[in-house]
Structure 1
Amino acid sequence: MTTTKGLEGVVAAQSSICSIIDGVLCYGGINIDELAENATFEEVVYLLWHGVLPKRDQLSALQKQLGESAAVPQEVIDSIRTYPRDVHPMAALRTAVSSLALYDKEAQDMSLEANYRKSIRLIAQTPVLVAAFARIRKGLEPVAPNPQFSVAQNFLYMLNGKEPTGTAIKAFDTALILHADHEFNASTFAGRVTVATLTDIYSGIVSAIGALKGPLHGGANEQVAAMLDEIGTIDNVEPYIRKALDNKQKIMGFGHRVYKDGDPRAKWLRQMSKELTQQVGREELYQMSIKIEDLVTKEKGLKPNVDFYSASVYVSLGLERDLFTPIFAISRMSGWTAHIMEQYENNRLIRPRAEYIGPVNQHYVPIDQR
């Protein structure tokens, strides 16, 4: 056996959902650049699930299904009211998604048709859960979803209680597309490992949420925002970054295991950051980010990943820092459900081996002789 730390470079399975080849990210064979420029998030959801872009009637049907499925059982909303107000939103989301299974009559139905319907409900209801918790912890009432709105529009509407601007909807929709899938990332693989036991889709999604919660995965953009807050002004950027580099501290939002020449998603978020920070009068966030990028790239040869500029984008949209990772989950729910359905379709229990490095030739010693 060959031991590979972190499974780096190990091909665990075949998939037709997403590819990263020579630094080019594609969903269903379509370059992420084309999708970010032209597609809607709902089109991307269909693409990840079916392998092709939807025709007009297919897209309309999916949009209608998502709108009709967005309402969350009242029992789940009531349970969210009992959560501690200071709990991290990812912990709240993990619990709330698990609760959805309790009220889904198809939760244990493992048929392809039932799993597809559950996937629609998960895509539609996850934004409702995140927005509901965000409002309840402030003492506000949740806002019911509008079945006529897109996923992006609905989330911003439910979060703030008012219709968002077209610019905000477009920016958020693009961010959802960029985060929708990323091959066998930690959370997706966790979800596939879980459902490979033939447990239900909710269990797989809860596993994925747990993995995404970590600061080395979905929590990285939250850490970037915290860093920007700590730096404060553009004049503090260089001394802060140089001190961090001298102390060999990790600069969040830079580098990626599968991209050696830069994350292809970062340029879209960089442009969005530039435009949004100008519109809301927070240009210093973008200017600080550019300066940080220049320093880290020059000193360490590392380029920004998807998390780095998404932080300033979300801040510009008025989103609270601890909601960044739940927003990641709203988007990645599309990829998670696609991979889980693919795993079910051609399942094999995922059970790797470990290289044993402990003591050998040990023997039992009676307790009074130890």
Structure 2
Amino acid sequence: MTGLAGIVAAETRLSMVDGENGRLIYQGYLAKDLALNYSFEEVAYLLLYGKLPSKTELHGFQCKLAENRHLPAYLIRILNELPEDMEVMSVLRTAISSLGRSEFGWKPNIDQAIRLIAITPVIVAYRYRQQHNLPIIKPSDNLNHTANYLYMLTGEVPKDVHIRALTVYMILTMEHGMNASTFAARVVTSTHSDLASAIVGAIGAMKGPLHGGAPTEVIQLLDEIGSLENAELYIRGKLERGELLMGFGHRVYKTTDPRAEALRSITSELIGEDAWLDLAYHVEKTAIQLLDEFKPGRRLYTNVEFYAAAVLKAVEMPAELFTPTFTVSRTVGWTAHVIEQADNNKIFRPQSEYVGEIPS
């Protein structure tokens, strides 16, 4: 079984994953530069429209996102009737499918994409607070996309340091080439199905732990280290015992993961403002030194999961929301791919090789 590894399934202008050179490119821009210098809304605009927005365009885009944050009454009724033990990703899948009405007819467009990008974090926050018997927080029209998400989860206006860190994370996970969930969305679209259906397919793929799995093992590593003083002794012990060091090495990037580079950059700016980020930054430096000592020439660098874990824990994101938060950001990439697929469509119809018995 090849899993279509190495097979080119589509042409795209949206992103390029350059594993050999450690580059992730969005519409002609390095993703790490975008993450460090632009807002979530600006990068989302770039992926959807193919250019960075002017001030006027950005304001209009921000207003459209804010206008589309509010849940319709029928969707609230659906959310209130779903089984109490239904996890957030399954709820999100069901909720998005309920939006597949006439407003999501063929063919997919940017207004439809804005609707889904805006409403996805609202659904996640609603369900999280509902499951934990917390009062539902209505979306704010005055906060940006990332800040509003944190506000709806906690009921408090988030700290600037947390908004900044989560924004960088969300930009860097917004898009990443022809991954499993993006492929699923494009396959659904290729049948001339609607945008909501395509995103439901993508959510279904993201829900699987082999794709959207949370970086919980990295958090366990950092928890076990516990302090700056304990880092070298702990890591050296693991390497001497031949144990894996979670958060280091990547099957695609043969050099530094550019997403980890950007997240490292933002955490280094925030040293002294958040103890958890301080610990992560120190652990990474110590681990890289020791990996070079124990495994010279292996090119084992920090991957995005290491700093994803650091950032998500720093902003006090519950572990159960790691994959949903990944989904909140990746909805931008999915919708951009769906629109691109629809603009130059051909139905996906791959072949399979029969390996069963042949009747005589």
After TM superposition, the score normalised by the length of structure 2 is: 0.88
Q: Does 1:338 align with 2:343?
A: no
What's the offset of the Cα at 1:254?
3.8
Corresponding residue number in structure 2 for 1:312: 310
What's the offset of the Cα at 1:149?
1.7
What's the offset of the Cα at 1:229?
4.0
Kept in 1, the 8 Å contact 2:129–2:136? The answer is: yes
SS of residue paired to 1:20: strand
Looking at structure 2, the residues matched to 83 and 289 of structure 1 have their Cα atoms a distance apart, in angstroms, of: 42
- Report the residue type matching 2:318 in the other structure: E
What's the offset of the Cα at 1:295?
4.9
1:6 to 3, 7, 13: 3
1:236-295, Cα deviation, whole Å (9 max, x unpaired): 44445665x45xx6x554433432112111012123345557423334344345445555
Q: Percent identity?
A: 41
Q: CA 1:292–1:209 in structure 2 vs 1: closer, same or farther (change >3 Å)?
A: farther
Kept in 2, the 8 Å contact 1:178–1:265? The answer is: yes
Kept in 2, the 8 Å contact 1:49–1:338? The answer is: yes
Q: CA 1:242–1:206 in structure 2 vs 1: closer, same or farther (change >3 Å)?
A: farther
2:140 to 143, 146, 152: 146
What's the offset of the Cα at 1:232?
5.4
Corresponding residue number in structure 1 for 2:326: 328
SS of residue paired to 2:346: coil
- Report the residue type matching 1:17 in the other structure: L
What's the offset of the Cα at 1:85?
4.4
SS of residue paired to 2:258: coil
- Report the residue type matching 2:171 in the other structure: I
Q: Does 1:351 align with 2:349?
A: yes
Q: Does 1:193 align with 2:191?
A: no
- Name the stretch that deviates more: 205-214 or 299-308: 299-308
Q: CA 1:292–1:219 in structure 2 vs 1: closer, same or farther (change >3 Å)?
A: farther
Corresponding residue number in structure 1 for 2:106: 110
Looking at structure 1, the residues matched to 195 and 173 of structure 2 have their Cα atoms a distance apart, in angstroms, of: 20
What's the offset of the Cα at 1:226?
4.2
Corresponding residue number in structure 2 for 1:93: 92
Corresponding residue number in structure 2 for 1:128: 122
Corresponding residue number in structure 2 for 1:62: 61
- Name the stretch that deviates more: 183-192 or 252-261: 252-261
Looking at structure 1, the residues matched to 82 and 240 of structure 2 have their Cα atoms a distance apart, in angstroms, of: 41
Corresponding residue number in structure 1 for 2:199: 205
SS of residue paired to 2:53: coil
After TM superposition, the score normalised by the length of structure 1 is: 0.86
Looking at structure 2, the residues matched to 274 and 39 of structure 1 have their Cα atoms a distance apart, in angstroms, of: 18
Q: CA 1:338–1:139 in structure 2 vs 1: closer, same or farther (change >3 Å)?
A: same
- Report the residue type matching 2:279 in the other structure: E
1:150-171, Cα deviation, whole Å (9 max, x unpaired): 1011101111111112222222
What's the offset of the Cα at 1:339?
0.2
Q: Does 1:263 align with 2:257?
A: yes
Aligned length: 350
Structure number with the bigger relative contact order (C-alpha 8 A, sep ≥ 6) is 2
Kept in 1, the 8 Å contact 2:107–2:342? The answer is: no
Q: CA 1:284–1:99 in structure 2 vs 1: closer, same or farther (change >3 Å)?
A: same
Looking at structure 2, the residues matched to 295 and 84 of structure 1 have their Cα atoms a distance apart, in angstroms, of: 48
Corresponding residue number in structure 1 for 2:80: 81
- Name the stretch that deviates more: 309-318 or 170-179: 170-179
Give the RMSD, CA atoms, in angstroms: 2.5
SS of residue paired to 2:103: coil
What's the offset of the Cα at 1:194?
1.5
Unaligned runs of 5+ in 1: 364-370
Corresponding residue number in structure 1 for 2:282: 287
Looking at structure 2, the residues matched to 274 and 105 of structure 1 have their Cα atoms a distance apart, in angstroms, of: 47
Corresponding residue number in structure 2 for 1:39: 38
Corresponding residue number in structure 2 for 1:362: 359
- Report the residue type matching 1:324 in the other structure: F
- Name the stretch that deviates more: 4-13 or 303-312: 4-13
- Name the stretch that deviates more: 12-21 or 45-54: 12-21
Kept in 2, the 8 Å contact 1:277–1:312? The answer is: no
Alignment of 1:198-237 (within 5 A): 198-229=192-223, 234=231, 235-237=233-235
Looking at structure 2, the residues matched to 254 and 353 of structure 1 have their Cα atoms a distance apart, in angstroms, of: 36
Looking at structure 1, the residues matched to 52 and 133 of structure 2 have their Cα atoms a distance apart, in angstroms, of: 41
- Report the residue type matching 1:120 in the other structure: I
Looking at structure 2, the residues matched to 174 and 120 of structure 1 have their Cα atoms a distance apart, in angstroms, of: 20
Kept in 2, the 8 Å contact 1:69–1:124? The answer is: yes
Unaligned runs of 5+ in 2: none
What's the offset of the Cα at 1:19?
1.6
- Report the residue type matching 2:340 in the other structure: E
What's the offset of the Cα at 1:349?
0.9
- Report the residue type matching 1:209 in the other structure: I
Looking at structure 1, the residues matched to 60 and 344 of structure 2 have their Cα atoms a distance apart, in angstroms, of: 27
Kept in 2, the 8 Å contact 1:93–1:129? The answer is: yes
Looking at structure 2, the residues matched to 44 and 154 of structure 1 have their Cα atoms a distance apart, in angstroms, of: 17
